[in-house]
Amino acid sequence: MTEYFSFAQAKRYMGFNSYDALYKYIKQGLPTIEVGKSKRIAKSDIDEFMAAHRVTAKQD
C-alpha cells in the first residue's frame, strides 16, 4: 500500500527545515498529487526521485 505525505510530512521525511528545498525538488520533477485543495506526495515517489539523483564519488 502506498503511503501519502502532506507537504509538511514530506519535508520532515526528506530532512528539510524549510519548504524552499521541497519546492525546489518539486520544480525539478518530484511528482505531487492534488485533489481539490489537498496536496500530497507519495513516499514511493520521494524514494524514487532521491534514488534517481544519487551521486557517487569518483575514484581518482
Give a yes or no: residue 20 inside a domain.
yes
Give a yes or no: residue 14 inside a domain.
yes
Give a yes or no: residue 47 inside a domain.
no
Give a yes or no: residue 44 inside a domain.
no
Residue 36's alpha-carbon distances to 19, 39, 47, 54, in angstroms, are 21, 8, 25, 33
Give a yes or no: residue 23 inside a domain.
yes
Residues of the domain holding 15: 1-39
Q: What percent of the chain has pLDDT over 70?
A: 100
| Tens of pLDDT, residues 36-56 | 999 999 999 999 999 998 988
Q: Which three cell numbers stand for residue 53?
A: 539523483
pTM of the prediction?
Answer: 0.85
Give a yes or no: residue 30 inside a domain.
yes
Domain total for the chain? 1
Distance CA(3)–CA(11), nearest Å, equals 15
Quick one: angle between helices 7-14 and 43-52, nearest 10?
40
Give a yes or no: residue 26 inside a domain.
yes
